Structure 1
Amino acid sequence: MPVTSVDKDLERLTMTIVADFPVAVRRLWDAYVDPRQIEKFWGPPEWPATFARHDVFPGGRSEYYMTGPDGSRSGGYWEFLSVTEGSSFEILDGFTREDGLPDPDMPTMRATFAFEETDSGARLTTTTHFTSLDELERLIDMGMEEGTRSAMAQIDDVLADLRSFAADRATAAQLLSDTQVRISRVLRGTPRQVWEAHHDPELLRLWNFGPDGWALTACELASAPGERNRFEFSPQDGAEGETFALTGELLESEPPHREVFTETMEGIDGPPAHNEQTLTPVEGGTLMSLVITYANKEMRDAILGTGMTDGMEAGYRRLESEVLSHA
Structure 2
Amino acid sequence: MNKTNFTAEQNKLTVTRTFDAPLELVWRAWTEAELLDQWWAPKPWQSKTKSMAFKEGGTRLYAMIGPEGEEHWGITTYTSIAPTTSFSGEDAFCDSDGLINEEFPVATFVNQFVANENQTTVKIETAYASEEQLKQVIAMGMKEGLSLAFEHLDEFIKQKFKLMGDLKTDGQARVTTYLNFPGTTEKAFTFYKSVFKTEFSGNGIQRFGDLPQEQGQAPVPEDIKKMVLHAELPILGGHVLMATDAPKEMGFTLEQGNNMHICLEPDSREETQRLFDALSEGGKIIMPLEDMFFGAFFGSCTDQFGINWMFNFKM
Q: TM-score range by the shorter chain?
A: 0.5 to 0.7
Matched, 1:161 2:133: no
Name the residue aligned to 2:108.
110
CA 101–26 in structure 1, closer or farther in 2 if over 3 Å, else same: same
CA 94–185 in structure 1, closer or farther in 2 if over 3 Å, else same: farther
Name the residue aligned to 1:46.
44
Tell me, what secondary structure is at the counterpart of 2:40?
A: coil
The CA distance in 2 between the partners of 1:69 and 1:24, in whole Å, is 33
In 2, are the aligned partners of 1:169 and 1:185 still within 8 Å (CA)? no
Deviates more, 1:60-69 or 1:91-100: 91-100
CA 50–185 in structure 1, closer or farther in 2 if over 3 Å, else same: farther
The CA distance in 1 between the partners of 2:39 and 2:65, in whole Å, is 13
Runs of 4+ in structure 1 off by over 4 angstroms are: 163-166, 168-175, 182-188, 320-325
Alignment of 1:150-229 (within 5 A): 150-162=148-160
Q: Structure 2: where are the runs of 5+ without partners?
A: 165-178, 183-245, 259-283, 289-301, 308-315
Tell me, what secondary structure is at the counterpart of 1:115?
A: strand
Map Cα deviations across residues 134-181 of structure 1 (whole Å, 9 max, x no partner). 111110111111111111111112112337999x86899969xxxxxx
Alignment of 1:280-299 (within 5 A): 283=286
Tell me, what secondary structure is at the counterpart of 1:152?
A: helix
CA 26–47 in structure 1, closer or farther in 2 if over 3 Å, else same: same
In 1, are the aligned partners of 2:14 and 2:123 still within 8 Å (CA)? yes
Name the residue aligned to 1:72.
70
The CA distance in 2 between the partners of 1:117 and 1:322, in whole Å, is 28
Tell me, what secondary structure is at the counterpart of 1:102?
A: coil
In 1, are the aligned partners of 2:3 and 2:18 still within 8 Å (CA)? yes
Map Cα deviations across residues 185-230 of structure 1 (whole Å, 9 max, x no partner). 6989xxxxxxxxxxxxxxxxxxxxxxxxxxxxxxxxxxxxxxxxxx
The CA distance in 2 between the partners of 1:115 and 1:173, in whole Å, is 27
Name the residue aligned to 2:8.
8
The CA distance in 2 between the partners of 1:145 and 1:138, in whole Å, is 12
Give the partner amino acid of 1:38: L
Map Cα deviations across residues 256-279 of structure 1 (whole Å, 9 max, x no partner). xxxxxxxxxxxxxxxxxxxxxxxx
Shift of 1:99: 4.5
TM-score, normalised with respect to structure 2: 0.52
Tell me, what secondary structure is at the counterpart of 1:127?
A: strand
Matched, 1:85 2:83: yes
The CA distance in 1 between the partners of 2:256 and 2:42, in whole Å, is 27
Map Cα deviations across residues 91-125 of structure 1 (whole Å, 9 max, x no partner). 11111125442212211111111000125511000
Give the partner amino acid of 2:141: G
CA 56–75 in structure 1, closer or farther in 2 if over 3 Å, else same: same
Given the alignment, which residue of 33, 36, 39 partners 2:34? 36
Map Cα deviations across residues 37-82 of structure 1 (whole Å, 9 max, x no partner). 1111111012110112222211111011011122110110111001
Name the residue aligned to 1:146.
144
Given the alignment, which residue of 55, 59, 62 partners 1:61? 59
CA 186–103 in structure 1, closer or farther in 2 if over 3 Å, else same: farther
Identical aligned residues as a percent: 21
Give the partner amino acid of 1:160: K
Q: Structure 1: where are the runs of 5+ without partners?
A: 176-181, 189-280, 286-319
Tell me, what secondary structure is at the counterpart of 2:43?
A: coil
Aligned residues: 191
In 2, are the aligned partners of 1:50 and 1:65 still within 8 Å (CA)? yes
Map Cα deviations across residues 12-39 of structure 1 (whole Å, 9 max, x no partner). x111111011211111111111212111
The CA distance in 2 between the partners of 1:282 and 1:101, in whole Å, is 39
The CA distance in 2 between the partners of 1:282 and 1:52, in whole Å, is 29
Give the partner amino acid of 2:5: S
CA 155–183 in structure 1, closer or farther in 2 if over 3 Å, else same: closer
TM-score, normalised with respect to structure 1: 0.51
CA 283–322 in structure 1, closer or farther in 2 if over 3 Å, else same: closer
The CA distance in 1 between the partners of 2:93 and 2:156, in whole Å, is 25
Name the residue aligned to 1:133.
131
In 2, are the aligned partners of 1:25 and 1:115 still within 8 Å (CA)? yes
